[in-house]
Amino acid sequence: MEGETEVAVSSRVALRSAGLGIHQGERRPVIGIANTASDLNPCNLPLNALAAEVRRGVLAAGGLPAVFPAMSLGEDLMKPTAMLYRNLLAMEIEEMIRSNPLDGIVLLANCDKTVPGMIMGAVSADIPTVVVTGGARPPATFQGRRIGTGTDLWRVWDQRRAGHLSDSDWSEFEAALSCGVGACNTMGTASTMAILCEVLGLALPGSATIPSGDPRAAEMARRAGEAAVRLVEAPVRPSSLLTRDAFSNAARVLSGIGGSTNAVIHLMAIAGRTRTGVTLEDIKGWFKGVPVIADVEPTGSGLVQDLDAAGGVPAVLEALAPHLELSTGSVGGESLAEVVARSHRSGSTVRDPREPLVPSDGLAVLYGSLAPSGAVVRLSTASSDLFEHTGTAVVFDSYQSMLDTIDDPALEIEPGNVLVLRGCGPVGGPGMPEWGMIPIPGYLARRGVTDMVRVSDARMSGTSFGTVVLHVAPEAAIGGPLALVASGDRIRLSVSAGSIDLLIGEEELARRRSSWRAPAFPDRRGWPALYREHVTQAPLGCDFDFLTAGDGGGFVEPVVGRS
């Protein structure tokens, strides 16, 4: 915006007209503040107040703050899933940066898809970036006990389906859940991604677990605005922070907090915008040997507020320090080693790693004849007695058909069966909805059955739980082996071997493949049509094939279909 050309003059006039005074010859960095607050997304409503604080911080540091709205992705209301639009938000952020004279950007995000979508766009644009999240909503109280959003919804819904909850109790529970704005206060995807932002170095240390409405949030937002100006002056870009070591740390912390399976997809998508070459096989290796030390639902009993009181992410880093590469940096100007050195761990929500909540890995990546390209399971919320299990498949070809028939006694589903839901992947969904936690049939729930092995090419909410094998790739809609499973087939899950296998012969599999036909989709225009044409499979993060950094992370598709 320097100079006397008509373009320079027009740019300065536009900023002055918006109240951002800048004069010829001034060298003040313009910091974009991308705000995803929306009445359609209560998770992100705290961001409006924080945007004003970020603006103050930018001004105090000598920058010019430019607030602009960005698409708000809320899982509660967007159907079939906010994941369908994550890549659209990523494109919006990248193009807003590309088309406007921004020197740095602060991303205001909270709900789970909003965080990775914004980061993906900023990483591709590669200008100095700081992430500010809005925090978890207050806890609810139901029948005298504190409950978390998401996780307790699934648990109480199971009670309702089993006939243990009256109509009045169900109404009381709904009223209790309306407890305020902010993200889910359990270890769902929103909390998981906020924590991983801090581990990756994109958010200020200590910021990820501050609850919605906490006075510290305003101060942290102001500091984020100041940091954005400093990063421009340095300069420090995402490409210098998002190293292989940073992704290794993120994966290990993801295991250590018993975080959302969705974070695996988001980490792969973010990594795919870099040239680090991170693969799903890397993630699998990084999970190994990291115990779960965060006592937060759905793995544990606490909430994000308890994690914050115990010392937040710095306390988690200190507990997991032997598993981490502590030389990685942060937008706060500190290394993880420096953050750990001044951390303070108190209480029992962040466990001593010698006495972990779960001694095994929090998550695992599986391969096998049913998932040649990979699948994911959260071990910390699964039933250990199902880690080695072979059962007869009961197959549902769509989410709606599953809902319509899951409680039908005529299916004669038994606890040892393996429930299979397909046609719900990135292409088939479209957008890979959170449908993978197939409900336990009502008649089994009334018998006391609380878990079964379930397998799907869908995702599940980070607040969900159970022995659920997700993200099976390649998905059924593009001809992956999941498309060829028939009710009555035998499926074997082996956590110790890291495998999920369909136990039928190659000759029979070939016969089924020869008669398989790709499904016809109704989308002929707009975003869903573009999405289905270009979305990659889960092991590549469900990004678009034309938006990755170009090296593809080394992933090779073993069967016909998109990579």
Q: What mean pLDDT is predicted for residues 275-304?
A: 97
pLDDT class of 440 with cuts at 50, 70, 90? very high
**Whether pLDDT at 562 is above 50:** no
- Say whether pTM exceeds 0.85: yes
Q: What mean pLDDT is predicted for residues 546-561?
A: 50
**Whether pLDDT at 302 is above 80:** yes
How confident is the model at residue 561, as a pLDDT?
32
How confident is the model at residue 444, as a pLDDT?
95
**Whether pLDDT at 537 is above 90:** yes
pLDDT class of 341 with cuts at 50, 70, 90? very high
pLDDT class of 360 with cuts at 50, 70, 90? confident
**Whether pLDDT at 113 is above 80:** yes
Lowest model confidence (mean pLDDT) among 151-160, 358-367, 466-475: 151-160
SS (H, E, C) 279-332: CHHHHHHHHCCCEECECECCCCCECHHHHHHCCHHHHHHHHCHHHCCCCCCCCC
Task: Give percent of the chain with pLDDT exceeding 90.
Answer: 84
How confident is the model at residue 151, as a pLDDT?
81
- Which domains, and CATH codes, for the chain? 17-138+182-241+289-341 (3.40.50.2300), 140-179 (no CATH), 364-523 (3.50.30.80)
Query: For 447-462, what is each residue's pLDDT tens digit?
Result: 999 999 999 999 999 9
How confident is the model at residue 219, as a pLDDT?
98
What's the rounded Cα separation, in Å, for the pair 498 and 297? 25
Contact (Cβ atoms closer than 8 angstroms) between residue 420 and residue 482: yes
How confident is the model at residue 557, as a pLDDT?
36
Give 143: exposed, middle or buried? Use CB within 10 Å, 0-12, 13-18, 19+. Answer: exposed
Residue type, 305: Q
Higher pLDDT, 372 or 180: 372
What's the rounded Cα separation, in Å, for the pair 202 and 103? 16
Contact (Cβ atoms closer than 8 angstroms) between residue 12 and residue 1: yes
**Whether pLDDT at 253 is above 80:** yes
Contacts for 446 with CB less than 8 Å, ≥ 6 apart: 162, 163
How confident is the model at residue 182, as a pLDDT?
95
Are β-strands 453-456 and 468-473 bridged in parallel, bridged antiparallel, or unpaired? parallel
